Chain A
Amino acid sequence: MSKVIEFVKGPWYIAVYTWREGLRRKTLVGFLILSLLVIFGATFMTSFLNQATVGDVTTDMDLKLIKDICVTTISIFGVLITIFISASVVPVEVENRIIYTVLSKPVRRFQYLLGKFLGAQLIIIMNLCLMGGLFFVALYIKQRILPTLLLWSVFLTYFEFLIVSALTFAVACASSSSVLPTIAGLFIYITGSLTEYLKDVYNRSGQTGEFLDSLIGYLAYILWNILPNLQRFSLKTQIVNSQPNDPPTDVLIPQLVLYALIYAVSGYIIAYWIFRKREV
């Protein structure tokens, strides 16, 4: 037991240290302030709309707009924060040569990476909690009912970010500067959101009967199966305006969480594989 605690202790200290470092990053704070401003501003934007009464029903059009704007804002700024933090936690330490000091201690590379990865996740979770919290309060003030479905939406958003974070982290482990992994992170997010296109390519292939056409189709199909598909997390936008106790939603949420965890492990394995060969 003490060995396990000893093993976990190292990554945990590194994670806490990474988290503290992350809080000092001006870019992240900037993104966070911007997102909070947009979420806060969404309530003003909807004041241009007049509340309309249909029969006895007061329709909350502005509530719907606030929900959509806030979920989108959390997605955009959240993914930017995720990419920036995941792309920089390791390269910055390589650039500043802090990594040499850390690795000279009785910490294995596996533990170091785990600590860094967990630290990045702590920052992402904290940012999501801040954005989601403000959104939660804004919604509660408007509708006077606890918006529990929003929590599920934010929860799913985190797991979508987890995939992007893990894969960006893997690229970051191969780089000594954070610029390349940041670009790669954006690329991962865009391609991850476009994986659904590959299915479309597969569905349309084979129409000419040419070998190359069919080959491209099969290739697209294999890639569609292997690559993480972030479009599957679009449930997060659907869920905020839907009704509770919806069978497909209830079934999808745990499946999506498992899906994200599997790809997060893949990302971490790639990161470790690259990092253990790296000369530092």
Chain B
Amino acid sequence: MNERVINLFLLIFLILTFVLGSIQGRRIEFIRDCEKFYRWLQAVGTQVRLFEKSESKDDSTNKYVDLQLFAKTAEIAMQMLMNNEEVAREIAPSKSPSENLSDLIGNMAYDYIIWEVVTSPSIKDVRNEFFKCLREGKIQYGREIGYAEAQASGVNIFNLFFGFRKIAAGLIWLEVDRYWHQGLLYRMVPLMRTCVALDPNFVEAYLIGAWHLAYNATAKLPDTPQHLKKWSQKYNACLGEKETFYYLGIDFLKRGIRHNPREYRLYFDLGFAIYKNKLNDYQNAVKYLTEAVKVPHERWVRRQLYICLELNGEYEKALEGWQDYMKRFPDNPVAPRFILRNQGKIYEEKAKTLLAEASKENSTEEREKKISLAKEYKQKAREIWGKLRDEENDPYGDYRLLFMEAMDLYEEGRYLEAVAVLDKARWESPSNFDEASDMIIKIKQEGGIPLTVSERKAVLRKAEGEKCQGMPEEPLAINKT
């Protein structure tokens, strides 16, 4: 073949490969752009679904347009998803498009559907607006999202080579660890933040960081008396020194959740380690543990959820959960115990409700009927508590039996005996000491029995109320959950 023809053929072939490479490069660029948008949607969706209602806004957040842009995206997305039968079922007409989209984002099963929405041409304008806002620094939750950060803050040499950014985050973490062993807790906090800024998917940094803040930093701090605590508008709570660290830990974990919404450990630590163990806020503990079980998780996460449901007074749900757990893991030794506990509590609650209704009932016949039914429920509860004590060796069964006996004595007006029984009960089950003590105070006050010094102090503390410095008259203007 002629040399020139071969050269021409090679040239054409070479140009063709470069053109194809360029086209393929553009396609990858498009996917990467969509990925930034997708990660941002996940972050804002998580914010809307879980945190937005519980957080108050300050002036610094006004310059960001995340929520407006999310609402715009949601409107278009909802129009698109209405045609999808599977998703349309999940869309609640009573909710706003933003809420519906954030719910869909919260469900792992719809990840690929959300991805289809993100890559669709219908959403092109919003996507472009997102990148424009990102360049202008108006996006709050896009700053640390992998590529997006590199795009927004210019190209960084460390970003480009060998993925050094992640290594740098790791090495900084070694420094954090050193400070921890030296007891320099205050030096750790900024470094921990640097770590997660370098690598927003560094889940372990969020976990250990929050643990340091909520547990280690507060280990030797004294409790701040309620009247010395200061009101925090941001957290809608009274904060002492300890509580400030707890909420810093909460913020740190929330930041982690926004960037890693499919990581159960973050939800678990937020719900269990901080809200349950540190703040005794079972409502929020249930909320985040429920999120934890929606994504792939270890089996003990469910157990904690059911325990928190019980602590939050949601006995029916807790019972349902434990029964399901028992079916899945029949060899589990604790499930039968908790099933009995919740069954007993349900009967007690039913009896309590019936007695309250009976006291308001005008018809004697109806009243008697309700009282008789309440007695029946009480008997059933007693049987369960007995079973819990005898078969499961749980001191809680004994405690509940004594507590119920004390309540019966109290209803009969035998206050001294009721107090004596409750005093015995609280030592049988120290974990319920406070509940029994509160009841003792109530009975003593009602029966005119003198209070002990510590009981008087407790009454005084209660009289002071939950007020703290700077607390508004209506502190719960923001929904706590």
Contacts and interface: CB of A to CB of B under 8 A. Distances in A.
Interface of A: 48-50, 52, 54-57, 59-61, 64-65, 68-69, 71-72, 75-76, 193-194, 196-197, 200, 225-226, 228-229, 231-232, 234, 236-238, 241-243, 245-248, 251-252, 255-256, 258-259, 262-263, 265-266, 269-270, 272-273, 276
Contacts of A234: 147, 159, 163
Contacts of A59: 204, 207-208, 265
6 contacts: A54-B211, A228-B25, A251-B115, A265-B17, A269-B14, A276-B6
Given A64-B170, A238-B146, A54 B112 contact: no
Contact of B22 (A71, A225, A237, A241): A225
A262 B17 contact: yes
A194 B160 contact: yes
Interface string B1-32: 00000110010011001101110111111011
B272 A226 contact: no
Given A68-B167, A75-B163, 17 more contacts: A48-B174, A49-B173, A56-B272, A60-B204, A72-B163, A72-B164, A228-B21, A231-B160, A234-B159, A237-B162, A246-B111, A247-B38, A247-B115, A262-B20, A266-B14, A273-B7, A273-B10
A65 B170 contact: yes
B320 to A, nearest CB: 23
A220 to B, nearest CB: 12
B213 to A, nearest CB: 11
A159 to B, nearest CB: 12
B307 to A, nearest CB: 12
A238 B18 CA distance: 27
Contact of A255 (B31, B146, B162): B31
B269 A50 contact: no
Contacts of A241: 166, 201-203
Q: Which 4 A-B pairs have the closest CB atoms?
A: A237-B163, A247-B115, A248-B35, A54-B211
Given A68-B163, A72-B167, A243 B262 contact: yes
A248 B38 contact: yes
Contacts of B169: 68
Contact of A245 (B20, B28, B111): B111
B345 to A, nearest CB: 24
Contacts of A238: 146, 163, 201
Contacts of A256: 28
B370 to A, nearest CB: 44
A65 B173 contact: yes
Nearest to A200: B155
A259 B24 contact: yes
A248 B31 contact: yes
A61 B204 CA distance: 6
A150 B385 CA distance: 52
B139 interface: no
A52 B115 CA distance: 36
B148 interface: no
B208 A54 contact: yes
A54 B207 contact: yes
Nearest to A73: B162
B273 A258 contact: no
Nearest to B6: A276
Given A54-B211, A262-B20, A262-B24, A252 B32 contact: yes
B25 A54 contact: no
A229 B25 contact: yes
B257 interface: no
